[in-house]
Structure 1
């Protein structure tokens, strides 16, 4: 299916690896020009070169999303260099599993406020688009208790609420806002890869709880996010799409 993304322009936070990298690459595969940000300069450079290899315009910057000026500056430069913005994907997460007060502050700044700031800074560009779309990456931890840090789950829940509210707020401007909540996602260098190496018993427990007997691949989450970002989902807004392989027990209304 042609997602009607050719020539569109997107920003993806945390786009150098994992879910964010897969989202950026799928957007590029569909002909969308892409700008990414992440903390590691070398990883950003590698990802940008891979994106350019798909025949689209691509750029990226290394920055800390807690730094508002740096984040907003990257978004401004992305809009200028790409000639506008149609799509914003807020993907970065602190993944801070500590239970100390510092984890609450860190997760608030990275998961919550980075998303709010990304949306607010991108809107001045997206408002000019005829197919404006925002996708927020949350987590199943946002609607079901798990052993993770209470701060992580609390702010993932807040992201779902925020995205739903923004969908209503921006509907009059024909800007769509949707949320994707992944379950456990496995990729080399990711959290579950490290758990597999360092805490094999916990990894086996996680596998046993998933009816599919495996964890999600980043590209499986990207498929959902990119569809929601695309004009093919033109009348879908305020949706919360769970990608977890039936990991969670829920009745979703």
Structure 2
């Protein structure tokens, strides 16, 4: 199936590793022009090297996304370099794992605010696109209890509500907004690779709750995201898509 991604412009914030890196690779392989950013110049350079063989345009910068000016500036420069923006996704995330003012603020600064700022900066370009698409990234920690009282879980639930509101507000402009809610995802440079090697009891307990007996891979999740973001999925907006290999047990309706 042709997803219709060839020639589209995708701006990805926080895509120098993990899930974002995998999404960048899938979009580039489908013919999209891709812009990525992240904190580490070394990781950004690695992603550029992985995307370049696709033959499409690639734009990349290293930055601290907690700086209020960094993400809007990146989006504007990326849109200029690529020639617009059809797809916007923010992958930045952190979790101190503590229910404290510091824990809440860290997630707001590194996850929620960069997403909001990026969407706002991308809006003038998305409005000019005939295939405008926003993907908001949540977590299954937002839909079922996970690791006790966690500001991360609460704020990821807020992302779902925000995405739904965007979908209704932007539909008349022809811009779609959908939420992707992953469960545990295994990537070679992601947190679960570290957990597997260094927190074996927690890893084994998590695996025991996955009925398929395997974690979703980064590439599998990336393909789902690419489809939802693509013109092939143009009728879908306001949806929350859970991708978790059966990890969550709720009835999803």
Tell me the TM-score normalized by structure 2. Answer: 0.97
What CA distance in whole angstroms lies between the structure 1 residues aligned with 2:2 and 2:95?
34
1:221–1:95 distance in 2 versus 1, CA, 3 Å: farther
Alignment length, in residue pairs? 253
1:115 corresponding residue in structure 2: 115
2:33 corresponding residue in structure 1: 33
1:230 corresponding residue in structure 2: 230
For 1:83-102, what aligned pairs fall within 5 Å after superposition? 83-102=83-102
Structure 1 unaligned segments of length 5 or more: list them: none
1:46 corresponding residue in structure 2: 46
For 1:67-86, what aligned pairs fall within 5 Å after superposition? 67-86=67-86
> Could you tell me whether the CA contact under 8 Å between 2:13 and 2:71 is conserved in 1?
no
> Could you tell me whether the CA contact under 8 Å between 1:96 and 1:149 is conserved in 2?
no
Shift of 1:149: 5.6
What CA distance in whole angstroms lies between the structure 2 residues aligned with 1:243 and 1:81?
32
1:152 corresponding residue in structure 2: 152
What CA distance in whole angstroms lies between the structure 2 residues aligned with 1:148 and 1:169?
34
For 1:179-218, what aligned pairs fall within 5 Å after superposition? 179-218=179-218
2:18 corresponding residue in structure 1: 18
Shift of 1:249: 1.1
> Could you tell me whether the CA contact under 8 Å between 2:195 and 2:203 is conserved in 1?
yes
What CA distance in whole angstroms lies between the structure 1 residues aligned with 2:11 and 2:87?
6
2:137 corresponding residue in structure 1: 137
Shift of 1:65: 1.4
What CA distance in whole angstroms lies between the structure 2 residues aligned with 1:14 and 1:51?
15
Structure 2 unaligned segments of length 5 or more: list them: none
What CA distance in whole angstroms lies between the structure 2 residues aligned with 1:246 and 1:33?
33
For 1:167-182, what aligned pairs fall within 5 Å after superposition? 167-182=167-182
1:232–1:146 distance in 2 versus 1, CA, 3 Å: same
Shift of 1:98: 2.8
3-state SS in 1 of match to 2:130: coil
TM-superposition CA deviations, 1:47-102 (whole Å, max 9, x none): 01211111111011111111121111110000101111111012111133233321
Shift of 1:244: 0.4
> Could you tell me whether the CA contact under 8 Å between 1:111 and 1:155 is conserved in 2?
no
Shift of 1:133: 0.4
> Could you tell me whether the CA contact under 8 Å between 2:95 and 2:106 is conserved in 1?
no
Tell me the TM-score normalized by structure 1. Answer: 0.97
TM-superposition CA deviations, 1:172-226 (whole Å, max 9, x none): 0010000100000112232111111111111111111100112111111111111
Over the aligned positions, Cα root-mean-square deviation in angstroms equals 1.1
What CA distance in whole angstroms lies between the structure 1 residues aligned with 2:234 and 2:189?
35
